């Protein structure tokens, strides 16, 4: 299958799908941290490129309720962020997952289909992550572990703190690839060939 992982600079979700034989591409305005199939561009230019699944990680800066105390001063930015989310959710892709922390998407667009936690997927920490789904099943926990540390929230301030907060944890990426990828193997990927994106 052809998989688009958008607003992902890390390459973590992209590589989880590629390891399972899919023609997966990440797309972000930033370069990828893990070398691989990456489109460095605005994702809105690539929504019509014939994807089977799209997994969107839109920036949460103007959406997350953790920043509610600043909402009054950035109504314009919020409206732009919500319009971006609407365009992603309405993309011409048969199967879509959009993830974000607890945010105003719930009150302005629709409530999420599920909320997952890292400790359900092998990471002993908390970070409530909402999933809005179209044509995909809810993620099932794969490895429930002890530990409820809010590691990212306690991380020291710094210029790259937002990057640490936005990376998908490997256990969650693996669950997405296993449960949404349909068990495609490497032979099927080589049979379909490269998508031709540069």
Q: Are residues 131 and 114 in contact, defined by beta-carbon separation less than 8 angstroms? A: yes
CA distances from 88 to 83, 92, 115, 166, 173 (A): 9, 9, 19, 18, 20
Q: Are residues 194 and 23 in contact, defined by beta-carbon separation less than 8 angstroms? A: yes
Residue range 5-61, pLDDT digits in tens: 999 999 999 999 999 999 999 999 999 999 999 999 999 999 999 999 999 999 877
Global pTM exceeds 0.85: no
Share above pLDDT 90 across residues of the chain, in percent, rounded to a whole number: 66
Supply the DSSP symbol for 120: G
Q: Is the pLDDT of residue 165 over 80?
A: no
Structural domains of the chain in order of their starting residue, each with its CATH number:
2-192 (3.40.50.150)
Of the listed ranges 102-106, 140-144, 155-159, the least confidently predicted one is 155-159
Residue range 73-104, pLDDT digits in tens: 566 788 889 999 999 999 999 999 999 988 88
């Amino acid at each position: 299958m052809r998989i688009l992982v958008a607003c992902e600079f890390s390459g973590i979700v992209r590589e989880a799908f590629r390891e399972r034989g899919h023609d997966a591409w990440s797309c972000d305005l930033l370069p990828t941290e893990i070398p691989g199939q990456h489109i460095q561009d605005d994702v809105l230019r690539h929504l019509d490129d014939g994807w089977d699944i799209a997994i969107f990680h839109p920036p949460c800066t103007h959406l997350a309720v953790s920043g509610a105390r600043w909402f009054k001063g950035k109504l314009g930015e919020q409206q732009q962020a919500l319009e971006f989310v609407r365009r992603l959710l309405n993309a011409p892709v048969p199967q879509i997952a959009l993830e974000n922390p607890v945010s105003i998407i719930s009150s302005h667009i629709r409530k999420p289909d599920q909320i997952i936690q890292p400790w359900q997927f092998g990471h002993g920490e908390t970070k409530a992550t909402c999933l809005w789904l179209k044509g995909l099943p809810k993620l099932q926990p794969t490895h429930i572990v002890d530990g409820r540390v809010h590691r990212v929230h306690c991380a020291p301030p710094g210029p790259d703190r937002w990057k640490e907060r936005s990376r998908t944890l490997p256990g969650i990426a693996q669950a997405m690839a296993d449960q949404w990828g349909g068990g495609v193997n490497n032979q099927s990927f080589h049979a379909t060939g490269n998508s031709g994106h540069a």
